[in-house]
Amino acid sequence: MDNIERFDTGVPATAFRLSWVAYVRPVVTLAAALVIAWFLPVLYRSILAVLALAWFVYAIMEAREVRLFVNDDGIWVRSGILPWNRGVSGVKWRDLDEASFHTGFFSWAARSYRVRIGHRFTKSSEILLMHVHEGNRAVAEINGIHRARISRGHD
């Protein structure tokens, strides 16, 4: 638990951020928009370039704010930069089924995993988060804490 952050509740939590892989899509989209803009008349080129750059900045800031974190209450995802889309959602320890990650060669090489935090009663409440940096370690920690809580009789 080397990356401790304090969240809205003031409770220390172990947090995991998104990997660099999450930033590839905005970069590629920006590059494609600028290439398309190059072939447009000057006025449209400027408009498209400004819109593409604004979207790029928003997408990068949005990706930087995503955190998967664990505290005494459960496993949570905090995201959003604008007041109307900022929030936290998650699974309480008592409702956790299991945490798992999906891997492949690229995921292993980039240390960027798709993490699934299952809800034992409903699939609509589970967490599915792409491109979690060291998501394999996050899953190991979550499952370890869950096992310890079950053996102590907390859940």
Q: Domain 4-18+68-152: which topology?
A: PH-domain like (2.30.29)
Both tokens assigned to 134: 């060291």
Q: What is the pLDDT along the chain (155 residues), one digit of tens a residue?
A: 344 444 444 444 688 999 999 999 999 999 999 999 999 998 899 999 999 999 999 999 999 999 999 988 889 999 999 999 999 989 998 888 889 999 889 888 888 999 999 988 888 788 999 999 999 999 999 999 888 888 887 65
| Angle, CA 151 vertex, CA 1 and CA 16 arms, to 5° | 25
* φ, ψ of residue 69 in degrees (nearest 5): -135, 155
Beta bridge partners of 13: 5
- pTM metric for this prediction: 0.78
